[in-house]
Amino acid sequence: MNKKNAAIYCRVSTEDQAREGYSLPEQQEKLKDLCRYRDYNIYDIYEDAGISAKDMEHRPQFQKMLESVRDGKVDVIVAYKLDRLTRSVRDLEILISELEKYECSLECAMDDINTSTANGRFFVRMLTVLSQLEIERVSERTKFGMVGAIKDGHIPVRKILGFMRKDKKLIINPAESNIVERIFDLYYKGKSYQQIANIFNDEKVLNKKWYDTTILKILSNPLYKGDFISGTRTGNPVLYENVVEPIISKKLWEECQEQTRKNTRNYTRRNDYIFFQKIICPNCHKIMACKAPGGSKKKYIYYQCNSCKTYIREDQLIELLVDEITEIIEYDSIVRKYFAPLLKHKITNTNELLSKELINLKDKVIRLKDAYLNEIISLEEYKEDKTYLENRINDIGKKIKDEQELEPYNFTFEDIMLKRDIENIKCFINPFYELNFRAKWSELSISEKQGLITSYIDNIEVIKNDKDIKIKQINFRKTFIEEYANLFNNGGINRNQVIKENNIPINIEVSAPMTREEIKKYIKKLQLSFPIDYQELKKEQVNDQQFMLKYNKGNYFNEPFKLIPIIDKFKITSYGLIEIPVSPINIINVNM
């Protein structure tokens, strides 16, 4: 009688070896003993080292053994335990069917398994069901533990730009977070992935090579808005919201995703269109495309609807939007750029974290030098890494200096309003000091104009009759509306209101409501810079939507500058009026 050819199969993962000591040599010895006891001829030994049993496809030696079975070279597979072969009920059924087809049996040394009989095959199936149940229970416990860890800030990600680890938790890295903010800001203002990468490469940001794919990954990562998605590789994504401190707002993140969708639909882009993707066709209500004219019209920039062929000239749009544009420039240059750093410093002073990061980098320079002196790294590697670390040290040093310069200031929204009012009063009384925002618009480059419009305006609805066009509505971006509303509600910005003085319309700024005590303190601060006058005006209701404020000029040369709604027991009963020196009784009608 011919001896059976046996295939010895051994498998171990690092987990198995650490937990239960199933080393490959130990398995081999026991299985060789079993083959000698059974009088089997050992055809070959198949070993899969450090591989999980969750599937059969990704185990090369296991697949090689099955090929030997199919070729009729193996009569029996000998394994240490059943879970060395598979822990899946589905895979077991496939394996048993395959072995039956080629008249090959299965034996396991520690489980007393033999599939050459019906009872043996039944017992194998029962053991595999129990084994899979244990795997699923372990998986559930692991997932449950992971959920708790993620919610507690222990995010399972590698090094990610803008974040650092502290006590195993992911926190904002102040030395890098401004780079992330800048990427989102540049993209929000209309720059493409490649353009941002080019800017960073030209500036040698972080002394590394930037690619458009790198920018894309950063812009699409929800971690920067404070959220984390797990299970993307398995096809079962789970969203965990607000698990880390966000670097950028959720609104800005969503706006950038929407911008990506728009860019995907309109992938062609020229650099000379200020209102790219902003103009809505008055007939079809679709976004108008950029049109490069020829012939006699070549000097004009056009936007054309691809459906109905309606066109609109860019210079006519600018003329109609000049007032809104100048207000946007004023807001962008005075409010956002000037006060945003102060507000950010007030909310989060990052000096301590920056100092720790600086110490850490200096330690790395010392360790790097030791590595070179001990011939662990080459001179070229030493110079390259040293340059990178020194650049990072210089960057953080500048950030610390900037923070220290802001340290003496304890800016509140009242301080912001005060500073802005002082700037506006200077413009009001001194024509040489006045900022000519219309002239500033003409001084901006095409790219800067595009960035300004993209930052603040979502789209523009127009009306066109023959060659005549009008602005129907300007739809501002949500992030700008919320930012503006937040500043106004907290007193950091004023809004313009049209009022009538002796039935003549005039513009006046109106601030957020204040109590009399708050106004009293505010006026004293303002009077330290200018000889302003102040008086309180009583409300006299005319109808449901209109009321009058009786105004008597305190000084013949005074001009009304600003209205402040006065809160009295949670109601606005009157208005404070700030006058600037520059007469009779005047009547002011106010529509609010």
Are 133 and 88 a contacting pair, CB within 8 Å? no
Strand partners, 42: 6
How many CB atoms sit inside 10 A of residue 420's CB?
Answer: 20
SS (H, E, C) 524-552: HHHHCCCCCEEEEEEEEEEECCEEEEEEE
Are 236 and 242 a contacting pair, CB within 8 Å? no
Nearest to 425 by CA among 579, 245, 252: 579
Asked about 131 being catalytic, the answer comes back as no
With residue 439 as reference, give the H or E element that holds it: helix 437-443
- CA dist 251 and 249 (Å) reads 5
Q: How many Å from the N-terminal Cα to the C-terminal Cα in the chain? A: 107
Q: Phi-psi bin for 204: left (phi > 0), alpha (psi -120 to 50), beta?
A: left
User: Of these residues, 13, 192, 355, 447, which one is catalytic?
Assistant: 13
Written as one string, the DSSP assignment of 235-295 is: T--EEE-S-S--SS-HHHHHHHHHHHHHHHHS----TT-TTTTTEEPTTT-SBPEEE---G
- CA dist 483 and 479 (Å) reads 6
Are 65 and 48 a contacting pair, CB within 8 Å? no
SS3 85: helix
Are 8 and 45 a contacting pair, CB within 8 Å? yes
Q: Kindly list the distances between the CA atom of residue 256 and the CA atoms of 309, 362, 516, in Å, as whole numbers in the listed order.
A: 29, 36, 43
Nearest to 110 by CA among 5, 10, 6: 10
Are 304 and 454 a contacting pair, CB within 8 Å? no
Strand partners, 105: 76
Are 286 and 304 a contacting pair, CB within 8 Å? no
- CA dist 490 and 479 (Å) reads 17
Instruction: Spell out the residues 6+ positions from residue 269 whose beta carbon is closer than 8 angstroms to its own.
Output: 192, 263, 276, 290
Active site residues: 13
